[in-house]
Amino acid sequence: MQRIDGAAVAAKVMDETKVRIAALAARGIRPGLAVVLVGDDPASRAYVRSKDRKAAELGLHSVKHELPADTTQAVLIALVAELNADPAVHGILVQSPPPPQINEAEVVLAIDPRKDVDGFHPVNVAKLAMEDPTGFVPCTPLGCIRLLQETGLETAGKSAVVVGRSMIVGKPMALLLMKRGPGGDATVTVAHSRTQNLAEVTRRADIVIAAIGRPHFLGAEHIREGAVVIDVGINRMEDPQHPKGYRLVGDVDYDAVAAKCAAITPVPGGVGPMTIAMLMSNCVTAAERLNS
């Protein structure tokens, strides 16, 4: 069994990104990333801090806007418009999920697609579906593909099952695995909470991507011998023995499944580091395109 080291691959992506940042700096260009957080959700706040810290480490122009939980839709849209117009900002990210009074779809639509480094704008979704390389791809599925490629795991001709159908992971993940070329050419099935006989579906897969957001949802009965498992889930599970009172686990029961797998990502230390690495890469890509 191969344990896929997401931290090592993420470090490689970061090194590549530093080279690209240096090339831009030689032209007097500093990539800029703006992150907007509305409210004080602890998980979102921690994630925003990590993005801001990583951007600073790379030498990016990092802008962080923390807005109160009662921020109105109009105020948020106005801020996005300002960031769209700011030449020092190349990437804009509005942290999800926002408070209930915010219409997230409208916020996504307000972001300039050329600065939509999350890849959620309909223009970028359409470009992904059309295999147009000028769009932005959501960071987590893009990171999953990079993990497969860096680990030497072939996707062409393989049977892949994506468990989860969100716009953030499941749907773009399926589109990436289907596309022509490296990291694609797979035969893809998308399963979800309404899929009947899920274990029968996933056991047929050479590659299983778990992105359903439920701790230990997939067990040994879901995975065939020799499969590759990419676990996107990050869930808190109560654990009185742990110093924090909980531990982070994936959507896959790692201990039950790992011995059956040809390769598997751990949680933490698998897909997680790749998401931020691909975000930084996307931001630099935005700066390159906007200054081409």
Q: Over the Cα atoms of the chain, what is R_g?
A: 19
- SS3 of the chain: CEECCHHHHHHHHHHHHHHHHHHHHCCCCCCEEEEEEECCCHHHHHHHHHHHHHHHHHCCEEEEEEECCCCCHHHHHHHHHHHHHCCCCCEEEECCCCCCCCCHHHHHHHCCHHHCCCCCCHHHHHHHHCCCCCCCCCHHHHHHHHHHHHCCCCCCCCEEEEECCCCCCHHHHHHHHHCCCCCCCCEEEEECCCCCCHHHHHHCCCEEEECCCCCCCECHHHCCCCCEEEECCCEEEECCCCCCCEEEECCECHHHHHHHCCEECCCCCCHHHHHHHHHHHHHHHHHHHHCC
Considering Cα of 121, then 97, then 192, then 263, what sign does the dihedral take? positive
Catalytic residue among 112, 115, 116, 118: 118
- Cβ-contact 3, 264 below 8 angstroms: yes
- What would the two tokens of residue 76 be? 């948020």
Q: Where does residue 119 rank: exposed (0-12), middle (13-18), buried (19+ CB within 10 A)? A: buried
Catalytic residue list contains 5: no
Instruction: Please report where in the chains the tokens 């997680």 appear, as a residue.
Output: 272
Is 51 noted as a catalytic residue in this protein? Answer: yes
Query: Which among 54, 95, 179, 231 is annotated as catalytic?
Result: 95
Catalytic residues: 51, 95, 118
